[in-house]
């Protein structure tokens, strides 16, 4: 009997808890264990428009889910363009091999890895509207990203505004966080080239007494162009619309507590890293610095018809001093293997820097 029990214990040990855990090639840690983080995803349309690229989007969200505890991830922020075309069945083989439905399903599949684990907050992009490219305000966003799919939104979503079709949707939504050292943080995401009424909704929200002392992060798809200039006109038929400069003048500049603006959208198809990022700091009407950052990955994995972005994302580490955000640019695609982990960090000045919110 003793021999039998010994053998049984050995079998159970080998098949379950006694097996060694998977050895990650490049586990990520916070610079300061008292920090927390948010993860920034650049435009993922290049992952969803080709079925062969889809696993890279899955890898990014799987990596995020796997690092929620180690990086104390409080939210995932996405600059939009979940798909290449919102509502089209005819395949242009020069630029995609997925129908719109297949692309939406691919994006939904990748995001499913985060459901009920961490909130993800998405600023819908131009490719998420119309037929091929924002000809109008129609979108399948609320069909594939309904509020009920992710329970982590329930207790932190404090406001939303109807989309262009008059539907309840997370396209225009606000989420509240309360973190030690930082206090109250409000994250607002808005539709592509938001209407005046959306900007007014956001302005009214940040000026309410209960939010006026929050640090506000504002996410919109198109705002800052390459070369650090704000976009003055977006060449899409969707109407009415406000581009980057108008968003600054109507909302960001007059709002004393919007301290960080995140966007994507623009980039250069040649794929150089520096041509797909931007960063600038300006004073708002209260004399406070507003950091504005573009992060777009769709071209950096081999150009517009490449792999969609090499898995690049940004780790935003909120330091315990309550004012410093350390920005790191990292790729789970390269980090997952010991043979390529030396390539997993981009360390140029435009990819690794500090944001100071005094």
pLDDT band at 226, cuts 50/70/90? confident
Contact yes or no for 157/175 (Cβ under 8 A)? yes
Enumerate the β-bridge partners of residue 355. Answer: 325
The predicted structure's pLDDT at residue 20: 55
CA distances from 251 to 35, 107, 121 (A): 30, 30, 20
Half-sphere exposure of 299 (CA within 13 A, CB side): 16
Residue 237: count other Cβ atoms within 10 Å of its Cβ. 11
Specify the length of the chain in residues. 358
Number of H helices, E strands in the chain: 8, 14
Does the pLDDT of residue 19 top 70, yes or no? no
Does the pLDDT of residue 353 top 70, yes or no? yes
Contact yes or no for 105/143 (Cβ under 8 A)? no
For residue 304, give the 3-state DSSP assignment. Answer: coil
The percent of residues above 70 in pLDDT, for the chain, comes to 93
The predicted structure's pLDDT at residue 333: 96
The predicted structure's pLDDT at residue 8: 39
DSSP string, 137-168: S--SHHHHS-GGG-GGGTTTEEEE---TTS--
Average pLDDT over residues 18-34: 77
Does the pLDDT of residue 18 top 50, yes or no? no
For residue 103, give the 3-state DSSP assignment. Answer: helix
Measure the CA–CA gap between 271 and 23, rounded to whole angstroms: 32
Contact yes or no for 257/218 (Cβ under 8 A)? no
Inter-axis angle of helices 100-112 and 54-66, to 10 degrees? 20
Q: Which residue has the tokens 């053998």?
A: 7
pLDDT digits (tens, 9 = 90+) for 119-168: 999 999 999 999 999 999 999 999 999 999 999 999 999 999 999 999 99
pLDDT digits (tens, 9 = 90+) for 187-200: 999 999 999 999 99
pLDDT digits (tens, 9 = 90+) for 32-85: 999 999 999 999 999 999 999 999 999 999 999 999 999 999 999 999 999 999
The percent of residues above 90 in pLDDT, for the chain, comes to 87
Does the pLDDT of residue 1 top 60, yes or no? no
pTM of the predicted structure, to 2 decimals: 0.93
Contact yes or no for 78/175 (Cβ under 8 A)? no
Could you say which architecture CATH assigns to the domain 38-356?
4-Layer Sandwich (3.60)
Average pLDDT over residues 248-277: 94
Does the pLDDT of residue 16 top 70, yes or no? no
Contact yes or no for 295/277 (Cβ under 8 A)? yes
Q: Which one, of 80, 104, 315, lies nearest residue 194 by Cα?
A: 80
Beta-strand pair 173-179/36-41: unpaired
Q: Which one, of 319, 112, 357, lies nearest residue 218 by Cα?
A: 357
């Amino acid at each position: 009997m003793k021999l039998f029990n010994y053998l049984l214990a050995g079998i159970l040990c080998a098949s379950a808890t006694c097996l060694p855990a998977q050895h990650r090639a490049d586990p990520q840690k916070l610079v300061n264990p008292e920090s927390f983080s948010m993860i920034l995803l650049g435009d993922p349309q290049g992952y969803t428009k080709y079925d062969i690229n889809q696993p890279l989007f899955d890898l990014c969200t799987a990596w995020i889910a796997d690092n929620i505890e180690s990086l104390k991830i409080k939210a995932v922020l996405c600059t939009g363009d979940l798909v290449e075309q919102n509502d089209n069945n005819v395949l242009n083989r020069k630029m995609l091999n997925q129908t719109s439905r297949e692309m939406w399903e691919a994006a939904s599949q990748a995001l499913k890895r985060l459901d009920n684990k961490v909130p993800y907050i998405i600023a819908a992009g131009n490719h998420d509207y119309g037929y091929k490219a924002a000809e109008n305000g129609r979108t399948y966003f609320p069909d594939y990203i309904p509020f009920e799919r992710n329970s982590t939104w329930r207790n932190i979503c404090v406001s939303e505004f109807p989309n262009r079709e008059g539907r309840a949707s997370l396209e225009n939504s606000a989420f509240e966080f309360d973190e030690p050292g930082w206090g109250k943080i409000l994250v607002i995401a808005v539709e592509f080239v938001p209407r005046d009424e959306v900007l007014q909704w956001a302005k009214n929200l940040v000026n309410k007494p209960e939010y006026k002392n929050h640090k506000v992060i504002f996410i919109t798809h198109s705002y800052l162009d390459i070369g650090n200039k704000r976009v003055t006109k977006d060449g899409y038929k969707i109407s009415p619309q406000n581009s980057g400069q108008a968003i600054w003048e109507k909302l960001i500049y007059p709002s004393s507590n919007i301290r960080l603006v995140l966007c994507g959208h623009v980039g250069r198809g040649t794929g150089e890293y520096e041509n797909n990022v931007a960063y600038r700091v300006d004073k708002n009407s209260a004399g406070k610095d507003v950091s504005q950052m573009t992060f777009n990955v769709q071209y950096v994995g081999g150009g517009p018809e490449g792999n969609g972005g090499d898995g690049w994302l940004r780790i935003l580490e909120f330091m315990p001093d309550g004012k410093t955000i350390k920005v790191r640019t990292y790729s789970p695609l390269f980090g997952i293997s010991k043979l390529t982990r030396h390539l997993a960090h981009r360390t140029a000045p435009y990819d690794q820097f500090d944001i100071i919110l005094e």
